[in-house]
Structure 1
Amino acid sequence: APVLPRRRAPGDAPLEAVAAPDGTELFLCATGRPGLPDWRADFEAAQPPTGTEPRAGTEPGAGAVRRVDHLSLTQPWHQFDEAALFHRAVLGLRPQESVDVADPYGLLRSRAVSTDDGAVRIVLTVGAAPVDDTAHAQHIALAVDDVVAAARALRAAGGTLLPIPANYHDDLAARFEFADGELEAYRELGILYDRDAHGEFRHCYTRTVGRVFFELVQRDGGHRGYGAANAPVRLAAQHAARGLTGG
């Protein structure tokens, strides 16, 4: 893959990027390696003014974001297989099985590519027909230790969570047993839940802004999925929210 041209200011780290088939720019960065420029210098947070108090809910704690769990990138319908091949050949990510998910616009096809240890995860999605690709947004999933605390902190900071229909949590109550008050918190915050032989998966979403939304993810016990069982519920909720806002 050819290196893309990029304009740099004098103090910028020399970050190089290549383009994926859908045009996404992938930057190849060194982190803490002696003799190589560290990309983190370009993103150092500015110091807050003297005497400024941290905003409520932003202090590091149980709901703090730990890392990026995965990215979900919508692909042009004719480049889905090419995208999987690109991520395998260029980044060494191993493709997983494709999954078809029910969507208000038709079937949505999804395939994850990841490293063997799950440290890098990318989910590639595409509609089943050559329709307008802007119907599906991209999203960034952030790993947290406590999704309930993280969701409450996000809401306290002014963020808006995606509302989930009440019948989803009614169904959860029939399928699983929860600790006292646990399911009520999920209803309040729009948290979705899944469980398999490896562990548990709790997650919730922000509303979509433009073509991007965020997901908060809590993995317990070695769960390595992406909540595919909950995807139709999330997609329907996003479709309903889009209709309410006219977006």
Structure 2
Amino acid sequence: MGAGLTGVDHLGLAQPFDHFDEAGLFYRSVLGLDQLTTEEYAAPFGLMRSRAFATGGRTIRLALTVALLRRGDWAPAVVDPQHVAFATGDIFATAAAIGPALAVPDNYYDDLTARFALPAETVERLRRFGILYDRDAAGGELLHLYTPVHGGRVFFEIVQRSGGYDAFGETNAPVRMAAHRHLRLASR
């Protein structure tokens, strides 16, 4: 039985601090990608920066990330995790087909209810499958889930976009990072 994946949505590439701007320049000048956004957010181990690039038709999307500050034991064992995000037209069917996703803490879903006023049954369905949610100012939506880290450095994301949502769910990155960290520490 298939998992309902329809293609690659984007690649997430971690960069060393000293090469972050250089990598962005390469993607813009050599590959001709458009720079979309630059976001900064707090992670369990310090401040992160994410810079998104894409072609005009969004056939290629990249999200570069870099740790701006690291704090001792808070740093994850996986220094520069990379990820591939696959697209799906029905994330709930895909989630059921691929099995358990990265466990997301319950307080994330309590916050969703407060931020977006989603119906309780929608939030419960998201919670059951470990799916994260974001909505942009125009009403576009992103549903996405993550796998644990595989092979020591790579994890996967499943993405369902609707209503013209064009970002990468950056507001959920700290939740994903904390969940990956929690899983790693629990498996020691």
TM-score with structure 2 setting the length: 0.90
Q: Does the 8 Å contact 2:103/2:179 carry over to 1? A: yes
Q: Which amino acid aligns with 2:141?
A: E
Q: Does the 8 Å contact 1:77/1:129 carry over to 2? A: no
Tell me which residue corresponds to 1:87.
27
Q: C-alpha separation between the residues in 1 aligned to 2:128 and 2:58? A: 30
Q: Secondary structure of the residue that 2:148 maps to in structure 1?
A: coil
Higher helix share: 2
CA gap 1:130/1:171 in 2 versus in 1, 3 angstroms: closer
CA deviation profile, 1:24-55 (whole Å, cap 9, x unmatched): xxxxxxxxxxxxxxxxxxxxxxxxxxxxxxxx
Higher strand share: 2
Once the 2 structures are TM-superposed, how far is the Cα of residue 130 of structure 1 from its aligned partner?
Answer: 7.7
Tell me which residue corresponds to 1:14.
none
Q: Which amino acid aligns with 1:142?
A: F
Tell me which residue corresponds to 2:42.
102
Q: 1:219 aligns with which of 161, 164, 184?
A: 161
Tell me which residue corresponds to 1:206.
147
Tell me which residue corresponds to 1:231.
173
Residues 1-247 of structure 1 aligned to structure 2 (within 5 Å):
58-59=1-2, 64-129=4-69, 134-155=78-99, 160-179=100-119, 181-196=121-136, 197-209=138-150, 210-246=152-188
- Consecutive unaligned residues of structure 1, counting only runs of 5 or more, are 1-57
Q: C-alpha separation between the residues in 1 aligned to 2:70 and 2:146? A: 27
Once the 2 structures are TM-superposed, how far is the Cα of residue 179 of structure 1 from its aligned partner?
Answer: 4.8
Higher relative contact order (CA closer than 8 Å, sequence separation 6+):
2
Once the 2 structures are TM-superposed, how far is the Cα of residue 105 of structure 1 from its aligned partner?
Answer: 1.2
- Consecutive unaligned residues of structure 2, counting only runs of 5 or more, are none
Q: C-alpha separation between the residues in 2 aligned to 1:237 and 1:212? A: 15
TM-score with structure 1 setting the length: 0.69
Task: Report the structure number with the largest CA radius of gyration.
Answer: 1
Q: In percent, how many aligned pairs have the same letter?
A: 46
